[in-house]
Structure 1
Amino acid sequence: MFARLPGLQEIHYEPWREWFDLLQRLTDKSLRLLFESLSSDRLRRLVLFENFDQTYPASMTWGCVPVRIPSSDVSRVVANASLTLEHLSASFIVDASLFFDARELSWKWPNLTWLALTSQLLVPQQRPTELDDMLRAAAAAAMEMPNLETMEIWNGKKGLAMLFRYQRAERGPAVITLRGTWELTLRPLVIQAWDSVALRHRGQGLVIVKELLDANACVKSHGDAIRHLKLSRPVIRPVSLRQIQMEHMIRERVQS
């Protein structure tokens, strides 16, 4: 379909995850073919958001993993499609670690100014070495994004929200913001990698800003996480975000 729309410049696609693991694998094959068809050089903005509900898997009587495992093939084709884009946001349908692992040494993103990805590694005290590797891989990719203004890597679900944001500065130091429900500490090699990115982008060093979400911030869903993290651009259409929040609000009222 996309191949028949050569003048298309912007796509917003918001599917739900599948609730049967075998069906999810089949859907991922279809998604791979879909994103491979994004061959138009005119496409500038791509916003992907795979919705889910954490309460659903427990009610399924057949095979359904509690947490969706993104496909490396889908992540790879989205990464490849991003090479000509100006804006890319891919939430839950790919994982940042798989996206950056797919990078080939020859890849460059000459037009990309904003990149937002989710990562399941952004959880408290789980896999610090893998998180470091992912953030360093993100920095290596950012070195090949000469016009990058903002990169955001985030995660959100019930009880959890975290954002890593790199912002380029025209004057003064670039800024890394760490905002979330726990304190995330960047280790020296990660800081060094992003300091190199700031220098490549003609910045004057790097400043790290930590913002711990207020204890009263209630994160009941990934929708609440998006609201509290204050991402720089919409990663989901406003009406879809309201629907997610309304669904959880109604469920709470029914259960209370």
Structure 2
Amino acid sequence: MLRVLLTLCMLCTCATGQDGRSIFQYLEDQGFSTLVELIRGAGLSQEFEDLDAIKTVFAPTNEAFKAVPDSVMVQLQTNVTLLKQVLLGHVVMDDTVLGVFIRDGLTKTSAAGTTLSFNKYNQIKTVNGAQISGDVLLANGVVQSINKVLLPIGDTISTIVAEGDAQFQDLFGFLILARLFGTLSLPGPYTVFAPTDAAFEKIDVSPLITNRTALADVLKDHVLSGTLWSAGLTDGMTLETLSGKQLTVHLASGQL
């Protein structure tokens, strides 16, 4: 009963507005200048101002936008249709996604029709891999600050490896040779620690090429069942791979 009352209290607080500002006003006042500029450029200011439409906005910081490749930013700034799609991919309509209710495996549909997948690693919460920071309750919904821009990604790991960066050509070939390419085409989910071509050059791969079983075991050592975003990695944590081996995570200055 107490939990139900608490839930109702929090939802009412959100609906009436603990902070009287609209979401758009808050973003302006709090220095989300890149996001505000893009919202204006997409002609979506009114949607973020509208006090009659409750929504949750996952708001990338200016630092998050700095990490987006220049070529992608140019596309966003010159293609209004694409820009609207990306911005609305950060919005959940008619819902208040509060941090206290985020659980591992939770999914929501964005205003762009894309799927937002949530994960929880101890006290760290993520949405599509972007780390979430706090709840800000406003007159027309909730703002959750995130440290990455939510951009569309490939459907499967095999697609990304096959069609993506040229630095994974050896991995692509080895997955086919080990007959694992089809496995990574399945829904999963999987997490892959993907060796680059440069990494493979540091070892003698000839014994693996002539022993398909050994090659498959080595590749499975790099694959986890489930979704593990980088934000969820902590120093010293152990992970079980598809081969059944235990990996220990070591982080130094944020680097894996």
Where on the TM-score scale, by shorter chain, does this alignment land: which range? under 0.3
Which has the bigger relative contact order, CA under 8 A and spacing at least 6? Answer: 2
Output the TM-score relative to the length of structure 2: 0.24
Structure with the greater alpha carbon radius of gyration? 2
